[in-house]
Amino acid sequence: MEIWQDIEKLGQELEDLHKVAIIVLNWNGWRDTIECLESIEKVTYPNYEVILLDNGSVDDSAVRIQEWIIGRLEKWGTVLDFPEDLIKVLAKPIQPVLRTSKLLFIRSVANLGFCAGNNLGMRIATELDADFLLILNNDTIVTPRFLEPMVSFAMREEKAGLIGGVICYADDPTKIWFAGGKFDRFLETHRVLDGADIALLRKEEYWLSDWISGCMMLIPRKVYEEVGGFKEDLFFWAEEWDYSLRVRHAGYVLAVVPDAVVYHKVGRSAGVLKPISYYYGTRNRLILKRIYLPWYRRWLFLTWFLMTRVPRYLQFAVQGRWDLIGAGVEAIRDYFLGRNGKWARHVG
């Protein structure tokens, strides 16, 4: 394809000028994180560095991951000291763990959440002079050539804001989970081509998207410096939609590059329909409307939303899911009380 010819022409320029910082958060998921790192080891892009944050894990993740890295220094390079200027960025409760020529491993003694954890990673990436910041879920497996097409697109397109790729289900690699997203007039979201066969993907170099998944999101440094990072009072969930809207409002375009393929173990990070994900999903969904919808559309949505909670919670009651009812009621209450950040019942 033409894109690979363009990449080959870039040659040494890619290696010398365009450093990608791959930011990965681990939270009680060292097995997935190590599998993700094993896939990154096979990446063909020549100039990247991994910034790995253990986000307040209460299991033995930090020890397991450190031992694994030390046992594979032939892949990750020699052990280096933490420079003084970087130590200043790692304020409490962040603890330096290990630094090699290809990887920086740090640990937080508390769970900062997806938003603040990735914001720390992005801040460190700029200190390390990265040209691109890649947000990557720890429950993903990347393909060897997933970086080149995204970087190539961002270099050619001056207004490139957020760049994503095609994310397939890890348990069925032929099926698409994300290949772009759409907002409706109430900022309800859906993933285009969800469940479609990747073989049927249209053969285009890229296409525009309303939002880019935080599961894998490439951010040019200039965009981060202008727009900033994720909104930390969301803690996690809906941050990708908020960030996509902010980047679009700043005048940038969001694009999906289909030659960038990764696989996602859907639901590993927080679980599918568990109280923790249901709480944040409900509360932050409402916060998004409050921020971006005009008042009349917001109240139309709230009226519809509250009316539909009755049959929804009755369904949960029939299923014996009182935990979800409690999480949903608390999410709605906290929204109206203006309570943001970490859920009071979020342990760990």
Query: With 0-12 CB in 10 A as exposed, 13-18 as middle and 19+ as buried, what is 21?
Result: buried
Distance (Å, rounded) from C-alpha 132 to C-alpha 115?
18
Q: Which residue stretches of the chain are H helix?
A: 2-10, 12-17, 30-40, 61-70, 73-76, 84-89, 113-127, 147-156, 221-227, 239-249, 275-292, 295-318, 322-337
In the block, tokens 């803690």 appear at 235
CB 105 within 8 A of CB 97: yes
Token duo for residue 288: 């998004």
Distance (Å, rounded) from C-alpha 184 to C-alpha 150?
26
CB-based burial, 133-162: b 16+ in 10 Å, e otherwise: bbbbbbbbbbbebbbbbbbbbbbeeeebbb
pLDDT bucket at 348, cuts 50 / 70 / 90: low
pLDDT over 90, % of the chain: 78
pLDDT of 11 above 70: no
Angle at 284 between CA 299 and CA 324, to 5 degrees: 100
pLDDT of 302 above 80: yes
CB-based burial, 294-329: b 16+ in 10 Å, e otherwise: eeeebeebbeebeeeeeeebeebeeeebeebbbbbe
Can you give the pTM of this predicted structure? Answer: 0.90
CATH architecture of the domain 2-264 equals: Alpha-Beta Complex (3.90)
* Per-residue model confidence as pLDDT tens digits over 238-275: 999 999 999 999 999 999 999 999 999 986 544 457 89
pLDDT of 188 above 50: yes
Segment 43-48 mean pLDDT? 94
CA distances from 94 to 26, 106, 184, 284 (A): 14, 7, 40, 26
